[in-house]
Structure 1
Amino acid sequence: MSPDVLIKEDGSTLWITLNRPERKNAYDADMAAAIADALDGASGFRSVVITGSGDSFCAGGSLAKLSAPTTSAMRDLYRASLRLFDAIRSCPRPVIAAVNGAAAGGGNELVVACDLAVAARSATFGQTGPRVGSAPVTGATNVMGIQIGEKRAKELSMLCRRYPAQRAYEMGLVNEVVDDADLIGTVQGICDEFEALSPRYLEIAKISSNLWWNSARDNFASGLGMLVQAVGSPDMVEGATAFLEKRRAQFPDPE
């Protein structure tokens, strides 16, 4: 198992912790694959929790190489992201996001993919795609609209604003907001509730709920195909470079 992903068995719950706090737990292809592998092997548990180390939940896909991208590397990252989100949805056990800090970009889509989400009061949420030379095509532009409404989903996906945990709760992006010190205990309490329920029928309920996810699956693939075709574009390079240099991007005028 990768040191970038910490796996802990706690009774009937499998805890998966993203462990790259120095980059706000942004994942690369190998890290996404390690999380997916853990989810694929979680059938022996009653529930699964995904959280982050340090003060961030997940900043999505790592932008470290996007200022000088290669098509093969980006294709690997996109495919790994899709496999990760699919692994959450196909895992037979309930997957809970314990959002301990910023959930940005693909990290926000990670919350969308999870079955339930509990946020610490200090957590923040939002998409980053058009701000950094990308687009959130694996959940935010499609499935999130089912969860919080199309207009709100477009607001998140297109304006790239940051939202506090309470606002995310009001929109329906998370199930509950608790004080930071109560996050782990609250999530563990939900896991205890799952322990008293039938794993067989929880699995049926979960897989049945994938109707909208499955309907959007072809849209994910076509969206990622468009992103691959845009690898190395001036918008991608400028967005990633500006992000890494901590400045405002100067995108080219539309053609």
Structure 2
Amino acid sequence: MNYENILIEKENKIAIITINRPKSLNALNKPTIEELHSALKALELEKEVRVIILTGSGEKAFVAGADIKEFSDFNMSEGSQLAAKGQELLFDFIQNLNKPVIAAINGFALGGGLELAMASHFRIASTNAKMGLPEVTLGLIPGYGGTQRLPQLIGKGRAMEMIMTAEMITADKALTYGLVNHVVDQTELLDFTKNIANKIANNSATAIGRAIKSINANYRDGINGFHEEIKNFGECFETEDFTEGTTAFIEKRKAEFKGTM
């Protein structure tokens, strides 16, 4: 499938999605959200793809927010629908994807851009990256999960300050907050991220999918994460990956996981 706003390349077991709207600093608009959903849904079904990396084109921005011109004249109903549809199509979709999604933040990650990075399973930033949720300067609040995921990642107090002041933080501060896992030079960002992705790709895809479900369960209302872990742990015993992993361990060889049930 041909896309207008994103680029996709594949290396070994890794797919790299690049948001490619450099003239607008890769801002998220409706077509881009729809294209990202379509691409992620297709990659989830591709057995040979084990890890997905999200990044932005150019050297300035990962995603510098949403396209404000699209909703500047919306009413309450339209605004609520915008947030609900965006969360369903992209942000919640990424969080619950059974394949790891890593955000390689190569510059500004603001508003919807930071929300996109936070929906990913973890984040790696370049030294020039800046992150923030500036929505209150527009008379808005974050609408793509920012008020929920940011406190989960960095704590309530810091999230309150970031959202209320609308100030950007540096990559180094994001690292101390626990918002990103690593900070590297921009020239090394993709290679560093690919290196981590390759380590993940060599492990059991079925086990990793169940680990994602179990970890996410801890953040869902009314769900007992321990019970979800027990369920997913038990299901692992019925997979070919479990048979291969334990057999390889006993035979003292490297496991060759197929990622099948």
TM-score in terms of structure 1 length:
0.79
Alpha-carbon offset, residue 60 of structure 1: 2.5
Q: Which moved more, 1:156-165 or 1:129-138?
A: 129-138
Kept after mapping to 1: 8 A contact 2:26/2:61: yes
CA distance in 1, matches of 2:105, 2:26: 12
Matched, 1:100 2:106: yes
CA distance in 1, matches of 2:182, 2:101: 15
CA distance in 2, matches of 1:212, 1:34: 29
Alpha-carbon offset, residue 157 of structure 1: 1.5
Q: Which has the higher contact order (CA 8 A, sep 6+)?
A: 1
Alpha-carbon offset, residue 74 of structure 1: 4.4
CA distance in 2, matches of 1:80, 1:2: 20
Q: Pairwise mapping of residues 1-255 of structure 1 onto structure 2 (< 5 A)?
A: 1-43=2-44, 44=47, 45-54=49-58, 55-69=60-74, 74=79, 77-82=82-87, 83-215=89-221
Alpha-carbon offset, residue 127 of structure 1: 0.3
Kept after mapping to 1: 8 A contact 2:8/2:16: yes
Amino acid at match of 2:147: T
1:2-61 per-residue CA deviation (whole Å, 9 max, x = no partner) reads: 211111122211111111111111111121011011111223211000000122001232
Amino acid at match of 1:48: I
CA distance in 2, matches of 1:100, 1:215: 33
Kept after mapping to 1: 8 A contact 2:83/2:143: no
Distance 1:182 1:115, change over 3 A: same
Amino acid at match of 2:70: K
Amino acid at match of 1:62: D
Q: Which moved more, 1:132-141 or 1:23-32?
A: 132-141
* Coordinate RMSD, CA, aligned: 1.9
CA distance in 2, matches of 1:10, 1:196: 14
1:216-247 per-residue CA deviation (whole Å, 9 max, x = no partner) reads: 9xxxxxxxxxxxxxxxxxxxxxxxxxxxxxxx
Amino acid at match of 2:189: L
CA distance in 2, matches of 1:134, 1:114: 23
Kept after mapping to 2: 8 A contact 1:143/1:213: no
Q: Return the index of the structure with the highest Cα Rg.
A: 2
Unaligned runs of 5+ in 2: 223-261
Distance 1:8 1:72, change over 3 A: farther
TM-score in terms of structure 2 length:
0.77
Alpha-carbon offset, residue 137 of structure 1: 3.8
CA distance in 2, matches of 1:68, 1:98: 33
Identity %: 31
Distance 1:34 1:213, change over 3 A: farther
Amino acid at match of 2:161: E
* 1:15 partner SS: strand
1:84-113 per-residue CA deviation (whole Å, 9 max, x = no partner) reads: 011211211110000000000011111211
Alpha-carbon offset, residue 213 of structure 1: 4.4
Amino acid at match of 1:69: F
